[in-house]
């Protein structure tokens, strides 16, 4: 069942592209985004406050990590407590207590250590030699052993809880650091993107006044690629409402740039002040198609996917494969997709969102339930795409005369507190396709030849419709196997074209 994407809620900040894990360097402003006469970068008083929040989160993270650490062995206090328990509950009633814990104190302690070591190594049954020694030295050996075992398991349970708490604190610290990174990233982009342009501001106000629109204020933003976003807070001076598209056209004419409305914008402006977001139109657009089949031709698939609009003129496509197949796998991958939709629509960087979901899944469960994340983010202004993977199968990029396959060795989410997330960027051209598949598709092909065979199938197709291409690929793979699917199979094809 397809998980529908949610339209971006429209951040006030027009974010630029995040840097790849493979290329971590700053990009200078370029092209037409240099400040013209009358324009100036504007320092926001909120940026410094955001930096302070991020610093506080990092301090809190270090505090979490500085608390009680994980333990692998009993402390001397815990061992002493075990012996005290045995002495009070068993030895106190024995006629030889004074001798065992007095003159023979060293040998009694050594016997206790031997028993604890044997329990740790062999379990409750101990080994024959330790049992023989205990029977020779203690006339109440069965009770001595029983109380020692109970003390041992109590202390071990305590270590388990201590380590569980330590892991939870470690996970919380990772979340806090991740959130601090995101806040600093946002603060940096906010600082770089806000600017003022008094001449353009007056020009927009005059143009809208002719349409009986009163402007309260105008904010200007610019991303790293020099694309404008203008926020106009205004109201109509007429009783009847004014189409918002007319206002966007007026702003476009005043700025000399083509602006569009975000997909979730209001369509009419009334007599109450409202902020209208005008975004510079993209140079590319995408279309996508999917083909899928469940394990054994089941109607329920553990694979789920979503297409969503993202802040900054980007479009995201996500494919997730839940552990196993059937309803449980479907629930797992649906949860991952829905969480990603929420975080990405809110403007969280992609890797930050994936890491936060991973930590959430690890903290909240005793058992491991993993899911893969295969994401492609298309920059509709530049034609560049970033492919991000956590345990996902290969992605294929089909160009006019070649096919490139990109693979990953990263782990899926839900396994470890912190995971490495692979990513790589590629420049796309008009008519290129990005094809994403789940492991069920590749596993259906002969081992060692999966990537080559799928490349051949993709290269041999001249189909330009994404839906038809996805179905063609799946049909070719099924025809190759000649059997019912042994796992859930999903093919997602996305085409890119110039606007």
Determine which of 84-98, 306-320, 443-457 has the lowest per-residue pLDDT on average: 84-98
Report the 10 Å Cβ neighbour count for 365: 10
Q: Using an 8 Å Cβ cutoff, are 265 and 277 in contact?
A: yes
CA dist., res. 21 & res. 235, Å (int): 44
Is 355 a residue whose pLDDT tops 60?
Answer: yes
Percent of the chain residues past pLDDT 90, beyond the cut? 32
H-helix or E-strand containing 376?
strand 373-379
Report the 10 Å Cβ neighbour count for 84: 11
CA dist., res. 89 & res. 334, Å (int): 54
CA dist., res. 280 & res. 312, Å (int): 10
DSSP string, 201-219: HHHHHHHHHTTTEEEEEEE
Is 406 a residue whose pLDDT tops 90?
Answer: yes
Determine which of 124-128, 154-158, 290-294 has the lowest per-residue pLDDT on average: 124-128
**Alpha helices in 417-449, H assignment, sequence order:** 439-443
The pLDDT assigned to 45 comes to 64
Residue, of 38 and 367, whose pLDDT is higher: 367
The pLDDT assigned to 6 comes to 31
Percent of the chain residues past pLDDT 70, beyond the cut? 88
**Max CA-CA distance within the chain?**
107
Is residue 20 very low, low, confident or very high in pLDDT (cuts 50, 70, 90)? Answer: very low
CA count, 13 A, side-chain hemisphere, 216: 12
The pLDDT assigned to 19 comes to 30
Residue, of 170 and 202, whose pLDDT is higher: 202
Q: Are strands 422-427 and 403-406 parallel, antiparallel or unpaired?
A: unpaired
CA dist., res. 277 & res. 145, Å (int): 75
- As beta bridge partners, residue 413 has 371
Q: Phi-psi region for residue 303, left (φ > 0), alpha (ψ -120 to 50) or beta? A: beta
Report the 10 Å Cβ neighbour count for 287: 15
The pLDDT assigned to 32 comes to 42
pLDDT tens-digit readout, 463-499: 999 999 999 999 999 998 888 888 889 999 999 999 8
H-helix or E-strand containing 51?
helix 45-66
Residue, of 143 and 337, whose pLDDT is higher: 337
How distant, in Å, are the alpha carbons of 2, 85, 124, 141 from that of 91? Answer: 68, 9, 21, 10
Average pLDDT score, the chain: 81
DSSP string, 102-164: TTTHHHHHHHHHHHHHHHHHH-TT--HHHHHHHHHH-TTHHHHHHHHHHHHHHHHHHHHHHHH
Is residue 236 very low, low, confident or very high in pLDDT (cuts 50, 70, 90)? Answer: very high
Is 286 a residue whose pLDDT tops 50?
Answer: yes
What pTM, to 2 d.p., does this model score?
A: 0.65
The pLDDT assigned to 62 comes to 76
Is 388 a residue whose pLDDT tops 50?
Answer: yes
Q: Residues with Cβ < 8 Å from 499, sequence gap 6 or more? A: 281, 282, 283, 284, 285
Is 25 a residue whose pLDDT tops 50?
Answer: no
Q: Using an 8 Å Cβ cutoff, are 10 and 309 in contact?
A: no
Determine which of 182-186, 238-242, 287-291 has the lowest per-residue pLDDT on average: 182-186
Which stretches does DSSP call E strand in 12-60? 39-41
What's the residue count for the chain? Answer: 499
- As beta bridge partners, residue 317 has 307, 376
- As beta bridge partners, residue 433 has 398, 495
CA dist., res. 172 & res. 114, Å (int): 39
Q: Which of 487, 490, 485 is nearest to 471 (CA)?
A: 490
Q: Using an 8 Å Cβ cutoff, are 200 and 278 in contact?
A: no
Report the 10 Å Cβ neighbour count for 299: 7
The sheet with strand 433-437 has its strands ordered as: 284-293, 489-498, 433-437, 395-398, 403-406
Residue, of 11 and 216, whose pLDDT is higher: 216
Is 29 a residue whose pLDDT tops 80?
Answer: no
Determine which of 111-125, 244-258, 297-311, 375-389 has the lowest per-residue pLDDT on average: 111-125
Which of 54-68, 196-210, 354-368 has the largest mean confidence? Answer: 196-210
Q: Using an 8 Å Cβ cutoff, are 320 and 372 in contact?
A: yes
The pLDDT assigned to 329 comes to 85
Q: Using an 8 Å Cβ cutoff, are 330 and 28 in contact?
A: no
Specify the 3-state DSSP secondary structure of 356: helix
């Amino acid at each position: 069942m397809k998980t529908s994407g949610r339209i971006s809620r429209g951040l006030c900040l027009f974010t630029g592209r995040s840097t790849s894990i493979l290329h971590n360097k700053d990009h200078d402003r370029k092209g037409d985004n240099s400040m013209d006469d009358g324009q100036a970068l504007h320092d926001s008083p909120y940026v410094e406050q955001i930096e302070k929040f991020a610093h506080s989160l990092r301090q809190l993270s270090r505090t979490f990590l500085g608390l009680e650490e994980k333990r692998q062995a009993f402390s001397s206090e815990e061992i002493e407590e075990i012996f005290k328990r045995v002495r009070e509950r068993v030895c106190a009633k024995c006629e030889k207590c004074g001798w065992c814990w007095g003159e023979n104190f060293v040998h009694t302690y050594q016997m206790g250590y031997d028993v604890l070591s044997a329990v740790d190594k062999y379990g409750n049954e101990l080994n024959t030699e330790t049992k023989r020694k205990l029977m020779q030295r203690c006339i109440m050996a069965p009770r001595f052993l029983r109380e020692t075992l109970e003390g041992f398991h109590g202390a071990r349970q305590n270590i388990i809880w201590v380590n569980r708490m330590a892991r939870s604190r470690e996970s919380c610290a990772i979340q806090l650091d991740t959130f601090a990174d995101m806040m600093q990233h946002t603060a940096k982009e906010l600082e770089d993107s806000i600017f003022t342009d008094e001449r353009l501001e007056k020009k927009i106000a005059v143009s809208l006044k002719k349409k009986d629109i009163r402007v309260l204020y105008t904010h200007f933003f610019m991303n790293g690629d020099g694309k404008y976003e203008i926020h106009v807070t205004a109201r109509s001076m007429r009783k009847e409402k004014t189409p918002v598209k007319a206002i966007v056209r007026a702003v476009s004419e005043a700025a000399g740039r083509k602006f569009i409305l975000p997909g979730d914008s209001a369509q009419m402006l009334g007599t109450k002040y409202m902020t209208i977001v005008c975004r510079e139109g993209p140079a590319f657009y995408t279309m996508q198609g999917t083909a899928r089949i469940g394990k054994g031709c089941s109607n329920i698939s553990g694979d789920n996917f979503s297409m969503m609009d993202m802040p900054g003129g980007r479009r995201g496509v996500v494919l997730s494969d839940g552990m196993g197949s059937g309803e449980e796998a479907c629930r797992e991958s649906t949860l991952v997709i829905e969480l990603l939709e929420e975080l990405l629509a809110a403007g969280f960087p992609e890797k930050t969102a994936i890491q936060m979901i991973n930590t959430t899944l690890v903290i909240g469960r005793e058992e491991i339930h993993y899911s893969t994340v295969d994401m492609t983010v298309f920059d509709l202004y530049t034609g560049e795409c970033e492919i991000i993977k956590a345990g996902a199968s290969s992605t294929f990029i089909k160009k006019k005369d070649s096919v490139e396959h990109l693979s990953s060795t990263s782990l899926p989410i839900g396994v470890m507190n912190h995971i490495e997330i692979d990513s790589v960027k590629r420049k796309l051209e008009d008519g290129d396709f990005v094809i994403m598949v789940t492991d069920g598709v590749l596993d259906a092909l002969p081992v060692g030849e999966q990537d080559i065979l799928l490349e051949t199938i993709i290269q041999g197709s001249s189909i330009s419709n994404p839906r038809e291409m996805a179905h063609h690929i799946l049909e070719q793979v099924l025809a190759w196997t000649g059997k019912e699917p042994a796992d859930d199979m999903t093919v997602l094809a996305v085409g890119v074209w110039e606007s």
